[in-house]
Amino acid sequence: MRKALIVWGGWPGHEPEAGAKIVAGMLEEDGFAVTVTNDYAAFGSPDLGDNSLIVPVITSDEMDRAFADNLVAAVRAGTGLAGYHGGLATSFRNLVAFHYLTGVQWVAHPGDIIDFRVNVEKPDDPIMAGIGDFDYHSEQYYLHFDPSIEVLASTTFSGAHDPVTEGVKMPVVFKRRFGKGRVFYTALGHVVAEFENPQMRTILRRGLNWAAREGA
């Protein structure tokens, strides 16, 4: 049975505990044995690499650099990493090693909660199969991202909320390889009510399963 570790914490506005429980339920339905904790020391466990998948549901906050190095090593060796919204983009902003791994950092969301369009870039990818472009109501994340990512869906900023963003095309969903491991990220999911959006939920669920190592 595949094992997944979900670690939640940080800013409560993103409803991390509730989000972690929803993700745990999705993974359990898909046959994972899931551990959920708010103890960041779990990232430093010598058995971290026994997990098929690690899902941080954390906004901001800090942790020991040694824990980040252990996480990087586990993914490099084949453990999967996946996250949504702040979970990879805003976690542990002081740890360069963490963002070298995730390939993304959040920097702004002009206009805060707004309506925007998500455009599917790779309709033939299994994560996006059967999903067309769709409208979304949330924070439109402006990101700094690694050029090695494979963008599966994007959004284009209108500039209505900040003229400097006009016409900027930004990743919303991506995947990447990191050593033997896989990394998946979606910028959707500001609060748990967004899990009721079928496209968001389907994309995340498929991405979690894609990132997870088989047989661990």
pLDDT tens for each residue of 10-65? 999 999 999 999 999 999 999 999 999 999 999 999 999 999 999 999 999 999 99
Is the pLDDT score of 216 beyond 80? no
The pLDDT value given to residue 27: 98
Predicted confidence (pLDDT) per residue in 99-155, tens digit: 999 999 999 999 999 999 999 999 999 999 999 999 999 999 999 999 999 999 999
Residues 85-104: pLDDT tens digits? 999 999 999 999 999 999 99
Measured in residues, the chain has a length of 216
Where do runs of H (alpha helix) occur along the chain? 16-29, 65-76, 86-89, 96-102, 198-211
Global confidence as pTM: 0.97
Distance CA 151, CA 118 (A): 12
For residue 214, the model assigns a pLDDT of 82
Distance CA 1, CA 52 (A): 9
- Cα atoms in the 13 Å half-sphere on the side-chain side of 80: 24
pLDDT of residue 89: 97
pLDDT at 208: 98
- According to the model, what pLDDT value does residue 13 have? 96
Check residue 215 and give its pLDDT: 61
Residue 194: φ, ψ to 5°:
-70, -15
Cα distance between residue 32 and residue 58, in whole Å: 21
Give the span between the Cα atoms of 198 and 182, in whole angstroms.
24
Phi, psi for residue 30 in degrees, rounded to 5: -95, 10
Contact between 178 and 12 under an 8 Å Cβ cutoff? The reply is no
d(CA 38, CA 197): 26
| CA-to-CA dists, residue 1 to 93, 195, 212, angstroms | 33, 26, 12
- For the record, the structure tokens of 30 come out as 């898909």
Domains of the chain: 3-211 (3.40.50.880)
pLDDT digits (tens, 9 = 90+) for 170-211: 999 999 999 999 999 999 999 999 999 999 999 999 999 999
Reference 54, options 90, 31, 27, 22; nearest CA is: 27
State how far the Cα of 4 lies from the Cα of 198, in Å rounded to an integer: 23
